[in-house]
Structure 1
């Protein structure tokens, strides 16, 4: 599953084959079919696992960071870590690029993932209005949409140029609005 997840994040759904995954792992393709009836079932399973990891990150961050600025900075750092020196992108972005090839269940999971991220970001910007740790907040829902578009787009630019520094450059203006409690 780890090999398949990495392949999706690097090549997208349409760029992944069960033959290649089996070769990369050093197993027979039939071994994959023992656990998953299709490529789509495997990709759905790895996306649900990835979603669970991100949802845990969001819950953990909200539970451990009382200031909106700290939460948002953690989110920007976490999403930036997914680009791995510009070689890959967030699995949700990779799958959305090939959305027409996906089964309905995976598309539904992508929508759930997107909505959960937006809800978390909206809550973060609402908190930022109260605690002042994020400057110049307008409508929290609009801020959440803009933030998600920014970090997703920044990942795509970094991936296109295979340069993770472009993610940092693209998110610099947003990061400059954040006051973190411990700037280290």
Structure 2
């Protein structure tokens, strides 16, 4: 049973990241998995329940991949490099757009639970980035308001770069944008792996 639930969540995420939340039905999922629509409803009574599960799992994956800035022995530059590479890896491996970027466009049609999960993604990322920028060496630390502004800049730039790369089907768009962001932040060249 749990395996079916996981497969449904996986397939729903694929659909959302390829064509949006409105791009599929329970009937599509049932057909893909070779099960009855009633079986989909058994695991997820409503499509909103399924969408919330997908978004919550996506948020958890992000959270698990982010080192705690307060306990990490990495410097700010290393943490931001790790963060950029997370987005790059996601693009290279999944070859799909960021789940929460897609859901942001569809926000007006989402349930309250899905909206809450969407907001959690942004809060999680902005909080982590803000903490990274406020924990720099004491002589270079930013006040919280400036750190938050920089966090917004980083998240917006990376999500925008993913959307542009997806729209043009050109990975180099993301890579050039990410390198430009890194250069602006640290005055250094960012190396990204060619193959994941």
Do the two structures share a fold, i.e. TM-score over 0.5? yes
Measure how far apart 1:98 and its partner are.
Answer: 0.7
Is 1:73 the counterpart of 2:81? The answer is yes
Q: Deviations over 1:68-123 (max 9, x none)?
A: 11111111111122224784111111111111110011111211221111111111
1:124 is matched with which residue? 132
1:10 is matched with which residue? 18
1:145 is matched with which residue? 152
1:157 is matched with which residue? 164
**Superposed CA RMSD:** 2.6
**Distance in 1 of aligned mates of 2:33 and 2:72:** 37
**Distance in 2 of aligned mates of 1:81 and 1:10:** 17
Measure how far apart 1:178 and its partner are.
Answer: 3.7
Larger relative contact order (CA 8 Å, sep ≥ 6): 1
Q: Deviations over 1:24-77 (max 9, x none)?
A: 222222211111011111010111111111111124676545211111111111
1:76–1:151 Cα contact (<8 Å) kept: yes
Q: 1:28 aligns with which of 11, 21, 36?
A: 36
Q: Which runs of 4+ in 1 moved over 6 A?
A: none
1:94-105 alignment, distance < 5 Å: 94-105=102-113
Flag the 1:80–1:61 CA change in 2: closer, same or farther, 3 A.
farther
Secondary structure of the residue that 1:82 maps to in structure 2?
A: helix
**Distance in 2 of aligned mates of 1:52 and 1:92:** 13
TM-score by length of structure 2 reads 0.80
Flag the 1:62–1:86 CA change in 2: closer, same or farther, 3 A.
same
Structure 2: gaps spanning 5 or more residues:
1-8
Q: Which deviates more, 34-43 or 138-147?
A: 138-147
1:62–1:71 Cα contact (<8 Å) kept: no
TM-score by length of structure 1 reads 0.85
1:86–1:164 Cα contact (<8 Å) kept: no
Secondary structure of the residue that 1:89 maps to in structure 2?
A: coil
